[in-house]
Every structure is written in structure tokens, then in C-alpha cells.
Amino acid sequence: MYRVGHSVTGANLGVCITLACANWLHFPFLISILAGYLAYKGSNAPDYLEMRWYDRKHQELRTLIPHRTLTHWFVPWLALGAYATYQVSQGSVYWVLVASYCAGALLHIILDLPNKKPILGLLPHTGICLKWWGSHEHQFLICCFTTVLMGIFIYYCFQGSWEYIANNPVTVVRDIWYQIMYEANRLVS
Ligand SMILES: [Zn+2]
């Protein structure tokens, strides 16, 4: 999958994580929003952590870490994500930021898996790929699918509140804004 596809699917995941944090886990709104943003950033992390640079001499794009190797290995992302989730479950709210970033990266790896170029398997010297389709194929379809999933998630997140939201949209937006401002003020004071 290409950058745009990873960004769209990452944004979908980010919205879901923000809502889950704020709505179900009752985390502060600022942390919830930041967690969603980091999931979005994480969804491109395996590619940009390869540190791409342009080789003028050979006129080609190169990476410091070979493409689809170390940063595309799911094991460290999964381990760090699991550790961060454990810390969250123990009450360390800020670890949700790490967990979200790892979730974004894992989504990236899952969406790279059907492509034809292998990524690292369970052991780093093995390579896996499903060879279902090329990186440039089916991006639009996958993005539509994850967007629909996000829509369903949003629907269930606010189930029971939709009538109130529809009747009082200004109040809802104002309350969210006040909460964010309250948290921001507490942060700086
Ligand atoms: Zn990739």
C-alpha cells in the first residue's frame, strides 16, 4: 500500500482510538485526541522510520534502513504495544500514546502484508508476503472498507445519544470545546 492509503486507514483508526479513549475509557480529551493523532502518525511510521533520502549521484530514492525490513517487523511493534497497553491497564494513562502509535504501525504492516514484496516474519531472517496484490492495487477499496468500519464504530460509540446530538448539536460541540479548553488551561497552569 502507498502513503495515501496508509494515511487514510491510519486516520480511520485514529478517529476510532480517540473516541474509544474519550467515550469508553474516560481519558482526558486532549490525551484522547493526541492518541488518535499518534495512531495516524504511526500508520506511516514503518516507511518514514526507514529514513528515506534522495541520492543525487545515482538519481534515486534510498533508505538508511533497507525497505520493508526492520521497521516492518511486527514483533517489536507488537511487544512494545502490548507493554504499553499493560501499563495503561495499570493506570498509566500516558502510555496510551505509545500503544496508539504501535497500533498505527501494526495496521501499516498488516496492510503491507498482501503485497508482493516480503516483510520480516516471526524470525527476522524469514520473509512473509501473501502476494495477493501489488502495493498500488485495491487502495481505494481498502480505504472505503476501513471508512465504513469507522462509520459503524462511530455509530455504536454514540448509540443512545444520537437523538440528543441531532437536537442539540451546538450544545454538544460547545461542551466538547469547553472540556478541551478546561484541560488545556489546567495543563499550562
Ligand atoms: Zn510499508
List, as one string, the DSSP characters of 34-82.
Answer: HHHHHHHHHTTHHHHTT-EEEETTTTEEEESSPTTSGGG-HHHHHHHHH
Domain match, 141 and 178 both: no
Cα of 154 from ligand 1 centre, angstroms = 27
pLDDT digits (tens, 9 = 90+) for 1-40: 888 999 999 999 999 999 999 999 999 999 999 999 999 9
173 and 137 in a single domain? The answer is no
**Are both 51 and 103 inside the same structural domain?**
yes
Q: What three-state secondary structure class fits 33?
A: helix
**Helix (H), strand (E) at residue 148:** helix 139-157
Residue 110 and residue 151 in one domain: yes
How many independent structural domains does the chain possess?
Answer: 2
Ligand 1 centroid–CA 85 distance in Å is 24
Phi-psi region of 2 (alpha: psi -120 to 50; beta: other; left: phi over 0): beta
Name the residue range of residue 67's domain: 3-158
Task: Of 115, 94, 3, 110, give the one whose Cα is nearest residue 48.
Answer: 3
**pLDDT for 64-123, tens place per residue?**
888 888 899 999 999 999 999 999 999 999 999 999 999 999 999 999 988 888 888 888
- Ligand 1 center from residue 33 Cα (angstroms): 25
Distance 20 CA to ligand 1 centre (A): 26
